[in-house]
């Protein structure tokens, strides 16, 4: 069984790498394009990152108390296998931890001129640019970036003007959000690449763990474990709300919108690769309580893909699409493998 899993994993990895080479040879994944990606003057600072993590800690404490009050929190010696308990726990945790932080991030960005657009949360295709006019003199020619959208440089403003607050790094291009079609195309292509890549990595890591005498569980995520034991359409609806809607939305706003943007502001655009790796490591490690360690390498790689999308497209929509589809695909796989799940 383990050798079959390894073979399937290697096939998935081969497909993902073939797609990567195809895109690379067509010039879609040039490293220079990553380094010249647009800046994000969203008004978020290192202090906001510290405040957000403090809010997560306080929210986590409040969530644990609510779960204790409702008798929904499993003990360390008796972990829960009750799907009802796990689904409600996920929703309560998201409500007390992630929702307030997401609201804080949006409020801080909204308080900064053009902050919501710089964060990448304006509707795809929006052309309003408060800090620089699209297609103005000195702007990048269409086709110079991956989205073929006009970009303008902070340093190309009129003489005597100063860069927008939060754009402390000078001559860095800014960008308008992609059109809906381009945002969707980026998201779909990245999903087709990311899903087999992450599943392949998970299969290889599980096989290596088996060789070392530590077999990985069939399902490495608590939510997927709950789904496999779920026999209620109502609970399935709540699980889908939590995993496919709320988790991608909140996590993209927090870990790409805040963490990655703040790291970019703090470390500078020249260190974008370090920014991607650091934010991906934070994203993977924050899931440690929900997944087994076997899934951490795959989550790290997934976060790299999501972070790369964010840097290249200057909008959260493609990474949000990938995250949503990735979670939905994993749920569909569990429903196929465990056909009794969600049956009344």
pLDDT digits (tens, 9 = 90+) for 33-49: 888 887 788 889 999 99
Q: Is 291 helix (H, G, I), strand (E, B) or coil?
A: strand
In a domain, 143, yes or no: no
d(CA 102, CA 254): 6
Least Cα distance to 159 among 180, 178, 137, 190 occurs for 137
The reported pTM is 0.82
d(CA 18, CA 214): 31
Model confidence at 166, pLDDT cuts 50, 70, 90, reads very low
Neighbours of 144 (CB within 10 A): 15
Note whether 158 and 24 are within 8 A (CB): no
In a domain, 134, yes or no: no
In a domain, 125, yes or no: no
pLDDT for 230: 76
For CA atoms 182, 186, 191, 192, give the dihedral sign.
positive
The mean pLDDT value for 182-189 works out to 91
Residue-by-residue DSSP string for 40-80: ------HHHHHHHHHHHHHHHHHHHHHHHHTT-PPPSSS--
d(CA 207, CA 176): 44
Model confidence at 32, pLDDT cuts 50, 70, 90, reads confident
Least Cα distance to 202 among 344, 111, 297, 312 occurs for 297
For CA atoms 216, 293, 241, 260, give the dihedral sign.
negative
Instruction: Report whether pLDDT(150) > 60.
Output: no
Note whether 178 and 124 are within 8 A (CB): yes
pLDDT in tens, 86-144: 889 999 999 999 999 999 999 999 999 989 998 988 876 554 433 333 333 333 333 34
Would you state the structure tokens that stand for residue 65, as one six-digit string? 């108390």
In a domain, 44, yes or no: yes
Note whether 204 and 301 are within 8 A (CB): no
284-293 burial, b if ≥16 CB within 10 A, otherwise e?
bebbeebbbe
The mean pLDDT value of the chain amounts to 81
Number of domains in the chain: 1
Model confidence at 344, pLDDT cuts 50, 70, 90, reads low
45-53, Cβ contacts within 8 angstroms, sequence gap of 24 or more: 45/166, 45/262, 45/265, 46/262, 46/265, 46/266, 48/104, 48/105, 48/108, 48/258, 48/262, 49/258, 49/259, 49/262, 51/104, 52/101, 52/104, 52/105, 52/254, 52/258
Note whether 267 and 294 are within 8 A (CB): no
DSSP letter for 314, please: S
* Dihedral-angle region of residue 171 (phi above 0 means left; psi in -120 to 50 means alpha; beta otherwise): beta
Instruction: Report whether pLDDT(334) > 60.
Output: yes
Model confidence at 300, pLDDT cuts 50, 70, 90, reads very high
The mean pLDDT value for 44-72 works out to 93
In a domain, 202, yes or no: yes
In a domain, 268, yes or no: yes
Q: Is 7 helix (H, G, I), strand (E, B) or coil?
A: helix
In a domain, 319, yes or no: yes
In a domain, 121, yes or no: no
**Residue numbers of the domain that contains 274:** 2-21+39-71+81-110+170-337
Instruction: Report whether pLDDT(212) > 70.
Output: yes
The backbone torsions φ and ψ at residue 119, rounded to the nearest 5 degrees and listed phi first, read: -70, -20
Percentage above 70 pLDDT, the chain: 79
């Amino acid at each position: 069984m383990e050798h079959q899993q390894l073979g399937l994993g290697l096939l998935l990895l081969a497909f993902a790498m073939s797609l990567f080479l195809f895109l690379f040879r067509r010039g879609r994944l040039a490293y220079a394009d990553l380094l010249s990606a647009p800046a994000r003057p969203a008004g978020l600072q290192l202090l906001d990152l510290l405040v957000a993590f403090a809010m997560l800690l306080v929210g986590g404490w409040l969530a644990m108390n609510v779960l204790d009050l409702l008798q929904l929190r499993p003990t360390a010696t008796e972990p829960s296998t009750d799907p009802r308990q796990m689904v409600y726990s996920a929703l309560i945790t998201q409500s007390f931890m992630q929702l307030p932080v997401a609201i804080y991030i949006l409020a801080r960005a909204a308080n900064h001129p053009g902050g919501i657009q710089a964060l990448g949360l304006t509707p795809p295709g929006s052309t309003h640019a408060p800090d620089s006019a699209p297609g103005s003199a000195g702007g990048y020619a269409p086709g110079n970036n991956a989205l073929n959208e006009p970009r303008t440089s902070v340093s190309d403003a009129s003489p005597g003007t100063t860069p927008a607050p939060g754009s402390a790094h000078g001559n860095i291009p800014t960008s308008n959000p992609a059109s809906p079609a381009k945002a969707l195309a980026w998201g779909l292509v990245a999903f087709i690449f990311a899903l087999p890549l992450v599943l392949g990595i998970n299969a290889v890591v599980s096989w290596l763990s088996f060789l070392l005498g530590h077999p990985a569980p069939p399902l490495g995520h608590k939510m997927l474990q709950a789904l496999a034991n779920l026999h209620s359409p109502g609970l399935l609806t709540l699980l889908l709300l939590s995993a496919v809607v709320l988790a991608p939305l909140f996590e993209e706003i927090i870990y790409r919108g805040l963490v990655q943007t703040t790291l970019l502001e703090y470390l500078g655009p020249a260190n974008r690769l370090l920014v991607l790796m650091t934010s991906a490591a934070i994203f993977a490690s924050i899931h440690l309580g929900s997944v087994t360690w076997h899934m951490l390498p795959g989550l790290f790689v997934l976060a790299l893909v999501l972070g790369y999308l964010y840097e290249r497209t200057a909008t959260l929509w493609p990474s949000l699409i990938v995250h949503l589809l990735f979670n939905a695909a994993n749920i569909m796989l569990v429903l196929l493998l465990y056909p009794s799940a969600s049956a009344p």
